[in-house]
Structure 1
């Protein structure tokens, strides 16, 4: 670099590196790390990821033994969630014949001369339970898949924080040591940094995520406590209102009884007066 000219802003074109890797308390699982070149038209897709999951699950099972419990945590990007052919539902854009074939393949009775809208309603009512290609590939090696909550950023915040921390460390290292700006150098620097990520650094990332999770748990407990207190206060107010209404009702009934007694006494007095008048006559 001569220092002359200007820096050109990248528009995201050209070749890139895509990385698939597993991260645990001890660092990256280096045996299964997958780094490959791509461009804007050919990048990560479901087929490539499924092959990687299949190979990685097999490696983990061989390394950990047949009795070990293995769980992989994934987020909800599209290439993680491709449905199997058996559970893939028809789309609204599908032709009527394809929807009919889908229903008949699942032995759903079809009404005669049904419209496409009716067939879609039948298909929606008979959706099978979702099964994912990635899960099937992992299950072949007795490996379980756990997905983060879909569209629940707050609930996933702890785990989602780990990934940006890791990639930020990687990018910082590559930015600092990249002098030739060749893709091969970027790959080598990436592999070097991933191999040097020790257990203490990884644990600090995971502890940070755990602290965030604990913060949310405390907030939930506080919210539940406040909610219970508010409910108790409402119950007390309702009980006070009921007791006041009962007291008013009792007072009204007592007044009615007194009025009735007074009226009876007046009737008795009037009757006595009338009897006295008759006697005097």
Structure 2
């Protein structure tokens, strides 16, 4: 079969189609047309013409003059953001200021009311949390002997000129514990070596191993106690799965019927989900809460982004500080020994100070704007009278 002549590219046109000719650099055109144009004005014109920042233009031209080439821009941000430089407590404080949702405010005020009520009732309040410690954790500051003039001088004095401390990497211990005003609970420690290389230590936990640990803790608690925990996924495993928008329509329908909801006409999936939303509050139940309730204990959940209301965070800071100061071998077994010693060093007096600090934070969060009135049973001064 012969090809049509208009389907075939002429040889002289092929280069234009396959690889277009490169245009002249705008800067050269501007310079040739305006040879006496000041440098700064020339850079501004190039910036406006190409839509590139003035500083980028100056940097690129300077690099070309120096090296004869231009490197590709570095798309990886090497400078850490403020959020990367601060610790968890400061991050949570920023989240609260920037993302103070109304539902979180309600959750927080309910938590503060409940925790105070339980304390007034004389119930023991236990706090627990997870943390991690790397085998390479150590104090970052190094002592510097300014009298050392050379490596040879250091060698003769039996000293080293290099830092021997790792950077905090290596094997990692995942640690769980629980404590109250009486200190860390005896027999409450769970510690194991991480098997994952994830940046988030929470990835090591799941509902099954957490529930096993929690079940072993319950008999050790004071009667009718309160257990404060956060909202990690493995703390919030539900006793039954409630349908969501990702559920199949038939599964949603079956769940509604199992709860006694009458479906007397055909419905779209969004209509069925609306009915789920109406009644799901009756059926939201967590495995951990039920385990505690069966033993006459109460679970109280911290509002999200409020780790400053958990005194065990201060206990962890004390524990990690001891491990870092005394870690000289950077071996995971030795770090485990240091961890146990550090935990033993946290006394009941320390815990009471931690809790008192948290109470101070609670007081700050309880302060409500003067325009919001406290509702009481006395309505004699109502303006409606």
TM-score range, shorter chain: 0.5 to 0.7
Aligned partners of 1:138, 1:2: CA distance in 2, in Å?
A: 55
| Residues 5-49 of structure 1: CA deviation (Å, up to 9, x unaligned) | 897756x7x642222211111210121211122224650222222
Aligned partners of 1:196, 1:8: CA distance in 2, in Å?
A: 25
Structure 2 match to 1:16? 172
Structure 1 match to 2:245? 92
Structure 1 match to 2:205? 44
Q: Residues 3, 84 of structure 1: CA spacing in aligned structure 2 closer, same or farther, 3 A cutoff? A: farther
Q: Residues 129, 20 of structure 1: CA spacing in aligned structure 2 closer, same or farther, 3 A cutoff? A: same
Structure 1 match to 2:189? 33
Structure 2 match to 1:53? 214
Greater mean deviation of Cα atoms: 203-212 or 40-49: 40-49
Q: 258, 271, 274: which is aligned to 1:121?
A: 274
Indicate the structure (1 or 2) with the bigger Cα radius of gyration: 1
Q: CA deviation at 1:57?
A: 0.5
Q: CA deviation at 1:174?
A: 0.8
Please say if 1:133 is aligned against 2:280. Answer: no
Aligned partners of 1:22, 1:8: CA distance in 2, in Å?
A: 30
Q: CA deviation at 1:190?
A: 0.9
Between the two proteins, the alignment pairs up a number of residues equal to 209
Q: 315, 324, 328: which is aligned to 1:166?
A: 315
Aligned partners of 1:136, 1:130: CA distance in 2, in Å?
A: 11
Say whether the 8 Å CA contact 2:231–2:304 is kept in structure 1: yes
| Residues 41-84 of structure 1: CA deviation (Å, up to 9, x unaligned) | 65022222222111101232xxx4xxx32111112222212211
Structure 2 counterparts to residues 68-79 of structure 1, below 5 A: 68-79=223-234
Aligned partners of 2:219, 2:355: CA distance in 1, in Å?
A: 25
Structure 2 counterparts to residues 241-260 of structure 1, below 5 A: none
Aligned partners of 1:227, 1:210: CA distance in 2, in Å?
A: 22
Classify the secondary structure of the residue corresponding to 1:21: strand
| Residues 188-239 of structure 1: CA deviation (Å, up to 9, x unaligned) | 111111112112222221122222333445x44xx43x767xxxxxxxxxxx
Q: Residues 37, 25 of structure 1: CA spacing in aligned structure 2 closer, same or farther, 3 A cutoff? A: same
Aligned partners of 1:216, 1:99: CA distance in 2, in Å?
A: 40
Q: 317, 337, 340: which is aligned to 1:191?
A: 340
| Residues 126-179 of structure 1: CA deviation (Å, up to 9, x unaligned) | 21342111011122322221112346x4xx74x23x233221111111111111
Please say if 1:102 is aligned against 2:255. Answer: yes
Q: Residues 190, 5 of structure 1: CA spacing in aligned structure 2 closer, same or farther, 3 A cutoff? A: closer
Gaps of 5+ in 1: 229-281
Q: Which runs of 4 or more aligned residues in structure 1 lie more than 3 Å from their structure 2 counterparts after TM superposition?
A: 1-10, 214-217
Classify the secondary structure of the residue corresponding to 1:31: coil
Aligned partners of 1:204, 1:90: CA distance in 2, in Å?
A: 44
Q: TM-score, normalised by structure 2?
A: 0.49
Q: Residues 134, 227 of structure 1: CA spacing in aligned structure 2 closer, same or farther, 3 A cutoff? A: closer
Please say if 1:81 is aligned against 2:230. Answer: no
Q: CA deviation at 1:101?
A: 2.1
Say whether the 8 Å CA contact 1:15–1:40 is kept in structure 2: no
Classify the secondary structure of the residue corresponding to 1:126: helix
Classify the secondary structure of the residue corresponding to 2:344: helix
Q: CA RMSD for the aligned pairs?
A: 2.8
